[in-house]
Structure 1
Amino acid sequence: MSRERLYIVTYDISDQRRWRRVFKAMHGYGDWLQLSVFQCRLTRRRRAELETRLRELVKNGEDHILLIDVGSADKIHLAVESIGKSLSKMERQAVVI
């Protein structure tokens, strides 16, 4: 039995620099679903690490992060419905100007 839980992490960061820092930090913990939304499979320890890291990056009173516990990762098959654009794994690409 897996000890991982499935989390949806979404954030609204008011400063662009802090947003980029949060975005980069999140890549080490889960899969990027949409602009400020990640899906993460985390043990209790990894979840605590993520929370500590995010608390270091955000500014209280200005930024907002939600960690939504969906349930035990081995029992959950996350069904995501996409309206409008089709949902595909997000890929970051460099843009040369």
Structure 2
Amino acid sequence: MDQRLYIVAYDISDQKRWRRVFKLMKGFGEWMQLSVFQCRLTPKQHAELVALLDGIIHHTEDHILLLDFGHAENVSPRVVSLGKTSFTPIEHEPVIV
């Protein structure tokens, strides 16, 4: 599967929109911090996520960053992590249907 590793960080000015973005992101990745998620996405999933986020946010008040770390299987990000939790790239997990 052609997946890339993304870090998604967002600053949403309205609490209602923030909750909608948070709930959407929980379906696409792993929650890391208040407004930061780590996601493994195929190109199709990436396009779907961008389209859904684009429909939620207010473009003059909100901001979302999708940082592409490269192919998920070969990524070795250089991350400095301070505090209670260390950064570990999420692993590919089988999907049970």
Taking structure 2 as the reference length, the TM-score comes to: 0.83
Alignment partner, residue 17 of structure 1: 16
The residue correspondences of 1:18-97 to structure 2 (distance < 5 A) are: 18-78=17-77, 80-83=79-82, 85-87=83-85
Structure 1 unmatched runs, 5+: 90-97
Residue 7 of structure 1 aligns to a residue whose secondary structure is strand
Q: CA RMSD in A?
A: 1.6
Give the superposition deviation at 1:80: 4.1
- Could you tell me how far 1:45 is from its partner in structure 2? 0.1
Q: Secondary structure at the match of 1:39?
A: strand
Paired residues in the alignment total 87
| TM-score under structure 1 length normalisation | 0.83
Runs of 4+ in 1 over 4 A off after TM superposition: none
Partner Cα distance (2:42, 2:26) in 1: 16
